[in-house]
Amino acid sequence: MSTAERLIESTRELLWERGYIGTSPKAIQQRAGAGQGSMYHHFAGKPDLALAAIRRTAGEMRAKAEEQLSAPGTAVDRITAYLHRERDVLKGCPVGRLTQDPEVMADPVLRAPVDETLAWLRERLAELLTEGRERGELNAALDPRTTAATVVAVLQGGYVLARAADSVQPFDQAIAGVLGLLAAHVSAAPE
């Protein structure tokens, strides 16, 4: 792995563990096994490196989500697979956690990939729910946009509840709850 890659990966890990304020250039350099000169050779500074790390994390999150959301099956099957995929629940969402970081939220450049990723997820889920409605899998009363926003809110909120309780149980309950609400909109199979 190149020095630039090690710096990005180290920054990604530290942002998830400590947040932006807790991620010092020295900590990044130590974790990456890189000197200060190497860091500033590849990146203009901590904000530039953080942006590269956030973009990488956001891209990976989208790719992982797309694996389940574009798989075969009904819209509800695919959303269920996405919500049930393996996650490090107690660490929280590496993108969603950044919304709690005042330094990231105060910087429009750092905030942009966070907002874009969560907006992409809401839009992608809305597309999938629209497809399910058009295919007759979901009843017409379901509003794809508000339902997609609810799914994302429950997912992100489930992380918060799990972290607060130091248990995955509240996350699992939240996911089971939103899937139960979604199941109430599944159309009966034609006879």
* CATH code at position 68: 1.10.357.10
Q: What integer is the mean pLDDT of 83-91?
A: 94
Both tokens of 152, joined, read 């994302």
- Does residue 190 belong to any structural domain of this protein? no
| pLDDT attached to residue 189 | 59
Give the three-class secondary structure for 1. Answer: coil
Whether 190 has a pLDDT exceeding 80, the answer reads: no
Looking at residue 187, what DSSP letter applies? Answer: P
Span 76-85, pLDDT tens digits: 999 999 999 9
pLDDT tens-place string over residues 121-133: 999 999 999 999 9
Give domain status of residue 105, yes or no: yes
Q: Which residues contact 143 (CB under 8 A, 6 or more apart)?
A: none
Instruction: List pLDDT tens digits, range 6-51.
Output: 999 999 999 988 889 889 999 999 999 998 888 888 898 899 999 9
Report yes or no on 18 lying in a domain: no
Domain that holds residue 169: 57-183
Q: How many Å apart are CA 129 and CA 140, to the nearest integer?
A: 11
- The 10 Å Cβ neighbour count of residue 189 is 7
State yes or no: pLDDT of 191 exceeds 80: no
Q: pTM here?
A: 0.90
Mean of all residue pLDDT scores within the chain = 93
Q: Is residue 16 part of a domain?
A: no
Q: Is residue 146 part of a domain?
A: yes
Sign of CA dihedral 95, 96, 101, 103: positive
Q: Which helix (H) or strand (E) holds 54?
A: helix 46-69
Give me the number of domains the chain comprises. Answer: 1
Q: Answer whether residue 114 is part of any domain.
A: yes
What integer pLDDT is reported at residue 187 of this predicted model? 86
Structure tokens given for 112: 């942009």
Using pLDDT thresholds of 50, 70 and 90, give the confidence band for residue 116. Answer: very high
Please indicate, yes or no, if residue 106 is contained in any of the structural domains: yes
